[in-house]
Amino acid sequence: MRHLVWIILQDINLLILLYFLSINSFYLITSLIAFRFLKKYAKRMKLFDANEVVAITGSPPITLFAPAYNEEATCVHSIRSLLTLQYADYEIIVINDGSKDATMQTLIDAFELKAAHRYPIENVPTKTVKQIYWSAIHPNLWVIDKVNGGKADALNCGLNYCSTPYFCAMDADSLLEPDALSRIIRPFLEDERTIAAGGIIRIVNGCEVNGGMVTKIGLPEKLLPRLQVLEYLRAFLAGRMGWDALQATLIISGAFGIFRRSIVAEVGGYSIGTVGEDMELVVRLHRHCLENKIPYRISFVPDPVAWTECPEQRKILGRQRERWQRGLVQVLTRHRKMLMNPRYGRIGLLAYPFFFFLEMLGPIVEFSGYILFIVALIFGSVTISYAVAFLMIAILLGVALSIAAVGLEELSFHRYPTTRDVLHLFWLAVIESFGYRQMLTYYRLKGIIFAMRGVKSWGVMERQGFTQQVSK
């Protein structure tokens, strides 16, 4: 019996090592691919003037959707940022999704909103619209006040009232850089097959914000948001850049993405049955185009930037990551028909299996691996070879990936101007795997459990407000 238990444990340990090797090796490959493409991209962008390109090719009209729920602390700064965008033809539709705080009154006072009429273009079902407002001082600013229905419902409401060929979905607490629209529209101008594109999300905590614009970039004062800066760099530059190079982008962040309105309306808008509505829409667009043999392209563009506030408290971070994992589980189980299905090309045979087995189910394997490793150490049953392999594959390879992400940032965009900040990012890449990654694994595991239990709540994200985001 003892021998059988030992064999089972050995098999489990082998499975755990295989998981760490698979996910870290794949991200190492995408990092190398991203390095190659970012190097070419950065060289190309030195000669690229976003405003000049738009002036030559024309600026297709864009409507920005900014869903707001209890965003009293940040909504005015965010909208002022949107009003300063360097783009010729755009509208802003803020959708107040039944906020319980003073978000609506704050908007009315700040932008001199007046009740107005606007007729819907689409008829996607949404919660009741209570009133539509138009700004007397900013003619391209509209606000829709509606009954609470969640972010997806708010986005669908914006879709109904959108009259432009493209819309940009974002969060009401995000700040776009002045040339963000001019840069993110580029894939649509270069390739008429493009139906969606996402930009990069960066952490605003620790930066100075004046007049709705980031005027000085710095790292947050606290360790938790600093670690998230590193995590975002790895996710976008090493992860999504690599997936884009493979033409297998499966996620566009809900904080900053642009879509062709007609095809989103064609597939029925955003799904209200998941907390991962941003990923679900992208997966459904892939599925719709592949099933109907529609030529298309979904892209990631690394230089258009949206700045967003990240959680500074562990419990808020935990809620966020639980929700993200729940959304991932809901999306991938809903569209499981695509898994390993040749009909869906590289999405079904490459991207979907990666996210299904390594990102969705990974926390179960990873958490078990950490627990079994600790138990084995306590009872002295772990072999030296296994201990070395575990540390090399699970820890050191993870450190190497984070260092690579900082390197990609420095070689391509160099957004953090001081040597001190860059060196600190490299230091964070070393310490991240000793506590932070394990904590996130725990939260993601809870997200899987909550998804299995059918938990639907969005959770609460407490905001400090951009005026407090000042670097030290």
**Per-residue pLDDT tens digits for 60-109:** 999 999 999 998 888 888 888 899 898 989 999 999 999 999 999 999 99
The CA distance from 300 to 186, in Å, is 11
Binning pLDDT at 50, 70 and 90, where does residue 472 land? very low
- The dihedral region occupied by 36, where left means phi > 0, alpha psi between -120 and 50, and beta the remainder, is alpha
Which pLDDT score, from 0 to 100, does residue 2 have?
56
The answer on pLDDT for 470 being more than 50 is no
Q: 418 and 334 in one domain?
A: no
**Least confident piece of the model among 346-355, 375-384, 426-435, 460-469:** 460-469
Question: Domain ends where: 296, 324, 352?
Answer: 352
Q: In the chain, pLDDT over 90 holds for what percent of residues?
A: 64
Q: 207 and 184 in one domain?
A: yes
Q: What is the C-alpha end-to-end distance of the chain, expressed in Å?
A: 60
Q: What is the sign, positive or negative, of the torsion defined by CA atoms of 167, 152, 268, 93?
A: negative
* Encoded amino acid at 280, one letter: E
The string of pLDDT tens digits covering residues 316-358 is 999 999 999 999 999 999 999 999 999 999 999 999 999 999 9
The CA distance from 118 to 193, in Å, is 31
- pTM passes above 0.95: no
Mean pLDDT across 137-156: 96
Which pLDDT score, from 0 to 100, does residue 185 have?
94
Q: 115 and 17 in one domain?
A: no
Residue that the structure tokens 């030529």 belong to: 295
CATH number at residue 333: 3.90.550.10
Q: 232 and 141 in one domain?
A: yes
The answer on pLDDT for 463 being more than 80 is no
Q: What is the mean pLDDT of the chain?
A: 89
Q: How many Cβ atoms from other residues are within 10 Å of residue 81's Cβ?
A: 23
Could you list the residue range(s) of the whole structural domain that residue 423 is in?
A: 2-26+360-459
Tell which residue, 260, 450, 243, has the closest CA to residue 355.
243
Helix (H), strand (E) counts: the chain: 19, 12
Q: 307 and 179 in one domain?
A: yes
Q: 321 and 398 in one domain?
A: no
- The dihedral region occupied by 288, where left means phi > 0, alpha psi between -120 and 50, and beta the remainder, is alpha
